[in-house]
Chain A
Amino acid sequence: MTTIPLKLPFKIDLSRPVNPTGIWDWITTIDHKKIGVLYGVTAFLMFITGGIEALLIRTQLAGPEMKIIAPDVYNQLFTMHATTMIFLGVMPLSAAFFNYIIPLQIGARDVAFPRLNAFSYWTFLFGALIMKSSWFLGGSPNAGWFGYAPITTTTFNAGHGIDFWVVGLQVLGVASLAASFNFIVTIINMRAPGMSFMRLPLFTWMTFITAILLVLAFPVITVALIELMLDRTFDFNFFNTRAGANPLLWQHLFWIFGHPEVYILILPAMGIVSEILPTFSKKPIFGYAAMVLAAAFIAFMGWLVWSHHMFTTGLGPIANSVFTITTMLIAIPTGVKMFNWLGTMWGGNIEFNTPTLFSVGFLSMFLIGGISGVMHSFSASDYQQQDTYFIVAHIHYVLFGGAIFGIFAGIYYWFPKITGRMYDEKMGKLNFWLMFIGQNLTFFPMHFIGMQGMPRRIFTYDANMGWAFWNGVETFSAYIIAFGVLFFIINMLKSWGNGPKAGDDPWDARTLEWSISSPPPVYNFLDVPKVEALDDFWVKKQKGLSKIKSKTKPKDIHLPQASYWPMLASLGLAIAGYGIIYNLVVCGLGIAMLLITVCAWSFEPVNEPDAH
């Protein structure tokens, strides 16, 4: 046991935690499985808050000229709903799967940098708290999730709401970047012997591609956010139109990030579905190499389409034509994936349980969202649809019917592995049908009223517009979705402690995480597996080789030790964030704390030499 030689004016016990218990175990943990659970639970709570914001929006829109929510609060609600769902819901829920599943799928004991992983989680948590605390500190951001400057500059938006958005997103960006660095290195360098790239499970592949996208896309929005922060805090001129600034600069920077971000949201869900469909069709994935290449092509093309978010800004016919064509091209690899999923199920012995239902729901909903996407990829058509409910329908088909359905499929699929218990199948199916029916009744009518011209981001509408009926249906159906999610929560809470024991491999699955006990031991694998084929565990099961007993004893396995520093470093970052908003001296103190903790962290060995 060594203490960190920090010279402090007061005595403080900074000795390293050894086998902490209770809350300290969770605060200092660097075990990827515990961090995965932390990510999942936190992100799900955020998802609930985003859902409540959505229900408030829908309640206000239930009928014409309703006065339940004031216009300025309504602006804050739709901004926070989207920001929450994208940055605090879908992305960290995907990160929860990355954390829990990736090391298990590639046969590793942990991620490459366990402490950096803990840092990612805590930074995400503090970023989320900064963002959400705006509700209690004078009002939330109100300029839409893409925060177009100059409407977000102090000239037009003087309150602190946008500051919370600017700072919160930067902190969340640090969390996402740190996590992505970690997963890229983990997937390149922590694979079990024989696990070549073309033997990686597809979920691992999608994670790898997502992480690469993230590492390249987040710096761009970080620069945009820093520029906006400098404008707001120090009167720089980046978005000051009176100094000659061009309002399109923000849009370009934001969407150069924003379009890859769309694939950051959807690729993990595609990966999850690519694990579930082969398992429950009892067939290998159809066209494995094509699936990998299609995803890589989607990720590459994701960089060449950003201006399709800006067709109506007047970029000119040549730019609009080029971006129309590149956008339409993305339908090709997506179609390849769609047909491969269908080909996987075709002729299979399909078991229609909850994960399969959600996966098939994903396929059908994502297909509808993809088709409406191709409709407004055509710039001439997009002029009609820009900023109408048609776009709202599209993004909810790809992000709710797509990403969220995929994530729910994943939660049900891996629930037995994570908890060792089986969920309630009946309630799971009820959850699916409520969400499926609710999703379609909520979002499909938005196509109609969007085409009739109902703009998004208006807090109410006139009775004479003829939008009242479908808006009423949508609001009613939004509550059906909420009931579906309620059944999900009940199911999880009930089954986590009291569900029937699931066993190690309840699905007769194909990938390595099912070869170990449920829940997995802290060291994951007694012996690092030797991989000889794609779906190695499945192949070994067919040959009867999966039950060989190991001679390794758990106490011989050395694991990295818990640490305070990641959490303290994140706390320093959070203090610096609040400091930017309120007081620059506090910001300086936060940065100092960050630097000190990072130095202490880098001098702390992964394992104390004299400890076990």
Chain B
Amino acid sequence: MSDETTTGLNNRKILMWVFLGSDCMFFASLIGTYLIYKGMGLPHPGPSDVFDIPTTSVSTFVLLMSSMSMVFAYAYLVRSNIKAFRIWMISTIIMGATFLGFQIFEFSEFYFHDHLSPQTNLFGTTFYALTGTHGIHVTIGVVWLGIIFYSSLFRNTVSAKTNLDLDLAALYWHFVDIVWIVIFAVVYLFGTFKGFPS
């Protein structure tokens, strides 16, 4: 097998883009389901009963900052500054895990305090399915970045030469972030602000 490709791009990079295109349709269907059922069924507990916008804004900010530190990690890796790469890498992982921590806190708050379970009403069903799917995506991303970080520390297999491995994980990470921006706007902001049709 020769390493040359028709377009000069790496096969895995194109694969990642095609996968993300496919994943767009996946999230589009889930968000579509959420919007179709918005305001239908039992109204309480509804979005304005459970959402705490300041808290979720903090976790959203943390997730967006993790994208920035991801960019730094990649930039330092291609410049062969492994030490700075590791610092930004671990900060990305910590911020991703922090976002997950917020989500677990949020889910348990909704579940135990507001008595909103997936079985309660259509809002519970669609909300947990959509944000839960996103949470699984973030978890996969954190584990993926964790494996790369581990490889960099103990297997010494991460270098500027193998930056594509990190590039693919970073693409995925940024995509998951962008999806969260949509979810935050459509589910959280549209769900609580007065003036948006329910």
Interface residues of A (CB under 8 A from B): 109-110, 112-113, 177, 181-182, 184-185, 188-191, 193, 195, 215-220, 222-224, 226-227, 230, 234-238, 243-246, 249, 252-253, 256, 528, 558-560, 599, 606-607
Complex formed: what's the CA distance from A245 to B123 in Å?
11
Q: How far apart are B45's CB and chain A's nearest CB, in angstroms?
A: 14
- For the complex of A and B, the 6 pairs showing the least CB-CB separation, nearest first, are A244-B41, A223-B29, A219-B26, A219-B25, A237-B125, A189-B5
Complex formed: what's the CA distance from A378 to B1 in Å?
53
Complex formed: what's the CA distance from A238 to B34 in Å?
10
Complex formed: what's the CA distance from A202 to B6 in Å?
19
Contact check: which of B11, B40, B122, B129 meets A112 at CB < 8 Å? B11
* Cβ A185 vs Cβ B37 within 8 A: no
Q: How far apart are A50's CB and chain B's nearest CB, in angstroms?
A: 28
Q: Is B153 an interface residue when CB atoms closer than 8 A count as contact?
A: no
* Cβ B1 vs Cβ A559 within 8 A: yes
Q: Is B22 an interface residue when CB atoms closer than 8 A count as contact?
A: yes
Residues of chain A within 8 A (CB-CB) of B185 are none
Task: Return the chain A residue nearest B128 by Cβ.
Answer: A236
* Cβ A189 vs Cβ B121 within 8 A: no
Task: Return the chain B residue nearest A243 by Cβ.
Answer: B41
* Cβ A249 vs Cβ B36 within 8 A: yes
* Cβ B33 vs Cβ A238 within 8 A: yes
Complex formed: what's the CA distance from A219 to B18 in Å?
12
* Cβ B118 vs Cβ A236 within 8 A: yes
Q: A243-B41, A245-B37, A249-B36 are in contact. Are A216 and B21 (CB under 8 A)?
A: yes
Q: How far apart are A149's CB and chain B's nearest CB, in angstroms?
A: 12
Q: How far apart are B23's CB and chain A's nearest CB, in angstroms?
A: 7
* Cβ B129 vs Cβ A227 within 8 A: yes
* Cβ B125 vs Cβ A236 within 8 A: yes
The contact string, 1 if C-beta is below 8 Å from chain A, for chain B 1-31, is 1100111010100110011011101101110
Complex formed: what's the CA distance from A297 to B2 in Å?
35
Residues of chain A within 8 A (CB-CB) of B32 are 253
Q: A185-B15, A558-B1 are in contact. Are A230 and B36 (CB under 8 A)?
A: no
Q: How far apart are B111's CB and chain A's nearest CB, in angstroms?
A: 14
Main secondary structure of the interface of B (DSSP, over half): helix
* Cβ A188 vs Cβ B7 within 8 A: yes
* Cβ B25 vs Cβ A195 within 8 A: no
Task: For chain B, give the interface size range.
Answer: 35 or more
Complex formed: what's the CA distance from A607 to B1 in Å?
9
Residues of chain B within 8 A (CB-CB) of A528 are 2
Q: Is B119 an interface residue when CB atoms closer than 8 A count as contact?
A: yes
Residues of chain A within 8 A (CB-CB) of B26 are 219-220, 222-223
Complex formed: what's the CA distance from A181 to B41 in Å?
39
**Residues of chain B from 112 to 167 with CB closer than 8 A to chain A in the complex:** 118-119, 121-122, 124-126, 129, 147
* Cβ B1 vs Cβ A109 within 8 A: yes
* Cβ B1 vs Cβ A185 within 8 A: no
Q: Is B42 an interface residue when CB atoms closer than 8 A count as contact?
A: yes
Q: Which of B1, B14, B118, B119 has the most CB of A within 10 A?
A: B1
Task: Return the chain A residue nearest B155 by Cβ.
Answer: A603
* Cβ A189 vs Cβ B1 within 8 A: no
- Known contacts A220-B28, A238-B129; 7 additional CB pairs below 8 A are A181-B18, A185-B15, A190-B11, A195-B6, A223-B26, A238-B126, A606-B1
Contact check: which of A224, A235, A243 meets B29 at CB < 8 Å? A224
Complex formed: what's the CA distance from A223 to B33 in Å?
9
A-B contact pairs, 12 of them (CB 8 A): A112-B11, A188-B14, A189-B6, A235-B119, A237-B121, A237-B122, A243-B122, A245-B37, A246-B37, A249-B36, A253-B29, A560-B1
* Cβ A190 vs Cβ B15 within 8 A: no
Residues of chain B within 8 A (CB-CB) of A109 are 1
Task: Return the chain B residue nearest A183 by Cβ.
Answer: B18
Q: A191-B6, A243-B121, A253-B33 are in contact. Are A181 and B15 (CB under 8 A)?
A: yes
Contact check: which of A185, A193, A237, A606 meets B41 at CB < 8 Å? A237
